[in-house]
Amino acid sequence: MDSASQSQVADPTNIAWEQRKRRLLPYAYLSPTLILLAALTVVPIATVFLYSLVDNVIVNPNPPVFVGLENYEEVLTHRKFRGALSNTMYFSLVSVAAHFVIGLSFALLLNSRLLGANVKAVFRVIYILPWVFTASIIAILWRLLMNPHGVINFVLLELGLVEELQEFLSDRRLALNAVTFINIWSGYPFYLVSFLAGLQGIPDDLYEAGRVDGGNAWQLFLNITLPQLKPIIISLALLDFIWTIHQFTLIWMTTGGGPMRSTEVLSTYTYKAAFSSHEYSIASTIAMVILVMCTFVAVFYVRSQRMVDE
Amino acid sequence: MKKLVGLLIIALLLVPGVSMAQDVVLEFQQWWEPELPEGSFRAILDDFEAANPGIRVETISGPYLTTKDQIIASAATGTMADVVGLDGAWVNVLWKQGALHSLSQAMEDAMYDDSELAAQIQLAGETYMIPIANFIYPVFVNLDMLAAAGIDPPSTRAEFSAAAVALTDPDNNVYGWAQPLSLEQPNGIQNDTMSWVWASGGSMLDDMGQPNLVDNELLASTMAYIKSLHDAGVVAPGAFAMKENEKVEEFVNERVAMIINTLAHFTLIRERNPDLNFDITALPAAEGYDGPRGLPYASWGIGISSNTEHKAEAWKLIDYLTSVEGNTKLTSIANAFPGNVNATPDFIQTDPLFITAFEIFQEGFLANEFTGLPAAEELMRQFDEPFQFYLEGEMELEEFLEIAQEEWEDIFS
Amino acid sequence: MIGSRREILTRKFLLWIALLLGACFAGLPVLWMVASSFKSNLEIFAYPPALIDHSFSFAAYEAVLSDPGQLRFFFNSYLVAIMVTICTVITSILAGYSLSRYDFPFKKALSLVIIGVQSVPPITLMIPYFGLIVWLRIYNTYTALVLTYMVFTLSYAIIMMTGYFNTLPRDLDEAVMIDGGGSFVTLWRILVPISLPGIVAVGVYTFMLAWNEFLFALTLTRTNDMRTVPIGIHLLMGQHSFEWNQMLALSVLGSLPVLILFLLFQRYFIAGMSAGSIKG
Residues B184-194 have a mean pLDDT of: 95
ipTM of the complex: 0.88
Which carries the bigger pLDDT value, residue C4 or residue A138? A138
pLDDT in tens, C32-90: 999 999 999 999 999 999 999 999 999 999 999 998 888 999 999 999 999 999 999 99
Contacts of C94 in chain A (CB under 8 A): 29-30, 32-33
Question: DSSP of B113-138, one letter per residue?
Answer: -GGGBS--EEETTEEEEEEEEEEE--
Residues B311-324 have a mean pLDDT of: 96
Tell me whether A185 touches chain C (CB under 8 Å): yes
Which carries the bigger pLDDT value, residue A199 or residue B47? B47
Number of domains chain B is built from? 2
- Asked if residues C125 and A246 have their Cβ atoms less than 8 Å apart, the reply is no
Q: Is A196 close to C279, i.e. CB distance below 8 A?
A: no
Angle between helices B40-51 and B324-334 (to 10 degrees): 170
Tell me whether B104 touches chain C (CB under 8 Å): no
Within this chain, do residues B145 and B200 fall inside the same structural domain, yes or no? yes
pLDDT on residue A215: 83
Of C40, C131, C241, the CB nearest to B77: C131
pLDDT in tens, C158-170: 988 888 888 778 8
Structural fold of domain C58-279: MetI-like fold (1.10.3720)
Contacts of C138 in chain B (CB under 8 A): none
Please report, for the domain that includes residue B48, its CATH number. 3.40.190.10
Residue A11 Cα distances to A6, A23, C179, angstroms: 10, 19, 20
Q: Is B241 close to A259, i.e. CB distance below 8 A?
A: yes
Q: Would you say residue C270 has pLDDT above 70?
A: no
Within this chain, do residues B265 and B337 fall inside the same structural domain, yes or no? no
Residue B243 Cα distances to A252, B30, B187, B228, B239, angstroms: 12, 22, 9, 21, 8
d(CA B385, CA A137): 26
pLDDT on residue B9: 56
pLDDT confidence of A149, banded at 50, 70, 90?
Answer: very high
Contacts of C44 in chain B (CB under 8 A): 249
Within this chain, do residues B279 and B172 fall inside the same structural domain, yes or no? yes
pLDDT on residue A272: 92
d(CA A21, CA A28): 9
Within this chain, do residues B144 and B284 fall inside the same structural domain, yes or no? yes
pLDDT on residue C3: 60
DSSP SS3 for B48: helix
Reading phi first (left if > 0) and then psi (alpha if -120 to 50, else beta), residue B302 is in: beta
Q: Would you say residue B195 has pLDDT above 60?
A: yes
pLDDT in tens, C11-42: 899 999 999 999 999 999 999 999 999 999 99
Residues B368-386 have a mean pLDDT of: 95
Q: Would you say residue C279 has pLDDT above 60?
A: no
- Asked if residues A14 and A8 have their Cβ atoms less than 8 Å apart, the reply is yes
pLDDT in tens, B86-137: 999 999 999 998 999 999 999 999 999 999 999 999 999 999 999 999 999 9
Contacts of A242 in chain C (CB under 8 A): 115, 118-119
Q: Would you say residue B120 lies in a domain?
A: yes
* Residue B338 backbone dihedrals phi, psi, to 5 degrees: -70, 155
Residue C104 Cα distances to A280, A302, C110, C171, angstroms: 39, 14, 10, 20
Q: What's the number of CA atoms in the CB half-sphere (13 Å) around residue B47? A: 14
Burial of residue B8 (CB within 10 Å: 0-12, 13-18, 19+) is exposed
Angle between helices C142-167 and A175-200 (to 10 degrees): 60
Within this chain, do residues B51 and B126 fall inside the same structural domain, yes or no? yes
pLDDT confidence of A211, banded at 50, 70, 90?
Answer: confident
Q: Would you say residue B154 has pLDDT above 50?
A: yes
Least confident range from B98-112, B376-390, C170-184: namely C170-184
Tell me whether B381 touches chain A (CB under 8 Å): yes
Residues B343-371 have a mean pLDDT of: 88
Within this chain, do residues B307 and B162 fall inside the same structural domain, yes or no? no
Within this chain, do residues B35 and B132 fall inside the same structural domain, yes or no? yes
pLDDT on residue C84: 97
Beta-carbon count within 10 A of B356 CB: 15
Tell me whether B246 touches chain A (CB under 8 Å): yes
Q: Would you say residue C261 has pLDDT above 90?
A: no
pLDDT on residue B3: 58
Q: Would you say residue B364 lies in a domain?
A: no
Between CA A185 and CA B134, with CA B180 as vertex, the angle to 5 degrees is: 120
What is the pTM for the complete model shown? 0.91
Residue C274 Cα distances to B87, B161, B376, C192, C267, angstroms: 59, 71, 59, 11, 12
pLDDT confidence of C185, banded at 50, 70, 90?
Answer: confident
Q: Would you say residue B368 lies in a domain?
A: no
pLDDT confidence of A11, banded at 50, 70, 90?
Answer: low
Average of per-residue pLDDT values in chain C = 87
- Asked if residues B334 and B264 have their Cβ atoms less than 8 Å apart, the reply is yes
Reading phi first (left if > 0) and then psi (alpha if -120 to 50, else beta), residue A214 is in: left
Within this chain, do residues B36 and B49 fall inside the same structural domain, yes or no? yes
pLDDT confidence of A173, banded at 50, 70, 90?
Answer: very high
pLDDT in tens, B277-311: 999 999 999 999 999 999 999 999 999 999 999 99
For residues A286, A291, A293, A295, the Cα torsion angle rounded to the nearest 10 degrees is -170
Q: Nearest-CA residue of chain C relative to B243?
A: C239
Residue B362 Cα distances to B278, B281, B366, C215, C233, angstroms: 21, 13, 9, 43, 39
pLDDT confidence of C119, banded at 50, 70, 90?
Answer: confident
Residue C157 Cα to chain centre, angstroms:
11
State percent of chain C over pLDDT 90. Answer: 50
Which amino acid appears at position B129 of this protein? M
d(CA C41, CA B251): 13
Q: Is B76 close to A275, i.e. CB distance below 8 A?
A: no
d(CA A144, CA B391): 24
State percent of chain B over pLDDT 70. Answer: 95
Least confident range from A49-53, A283-287, B12-16: namely B12-16
d(CA B43, CA A118): 54
- Asked if residues A61 and B98 have their Cβ atoms less than 8 Å apart, the reply is yes
Within this chain, do residues B145 and B216 fall inside the same structural domain, yes or no? yes
Least confident range from A71-75, A98-102, B211-215, C111-115: namely C111-115
Within this chain, do residues B237 and B322 fall inside the same structural domain, yes or no? no
Average of per-residue pLDDT values in chain B = 92
d(CA A173, CA A175): 6
pLDDT on residue C278: 40
pLDDT on residue A5: 45
Within this chain, do residues B146 and B174 fall inside the same structural domain, yes or no? yes
Q: Is B238 close to A259, i.e. CB distance below 8 A?
A: no
Residues of the domain holding B321: 2-136+298-356
Structural domains in chain A plus CATH codes: 1-68 (no CATH), 70-309 (1.10.3720.10)
pLDDT on residue B1: 54
Of B31, B245, B253, the CB nearest to C46: B253
A–C: how many Cβ contacts below 8 A?
Answer: 318
Which amino acid appears at position B14 of this protein? L
Task: List chains adjacent to chain B, taking adjacency as at least 3 C-beta pairs closer than 8 Å.
Answer: A, C
Tell me whether B63 touches chain C (CB under 8 Å): yes
Average of per-residue pLDDT values in chain A = 88
Residues A273-290 have a mean pLDDT of: 92
Q: Would you say residue B218 lies in a domain?
A: yes
d(CA B59, CA B28): 5
Burial of residue C50 (CB within 10 Å: 0-12, 13-18, 19+) is middle
pLDDT on residue B17: 45
Angle between helices A175-200 and A79-110 (to 10 degrees): 40
Which carries the bigger pLDDT value, residue C32 or residue C187? C32
Tell me whether C218 touches chain B (CB under 8 Å): yes
Residues A89-109 have a mean pLDDT of: 96
Q: Is B79 close to C139, i.e. CB distance below 8 A?
A: yes
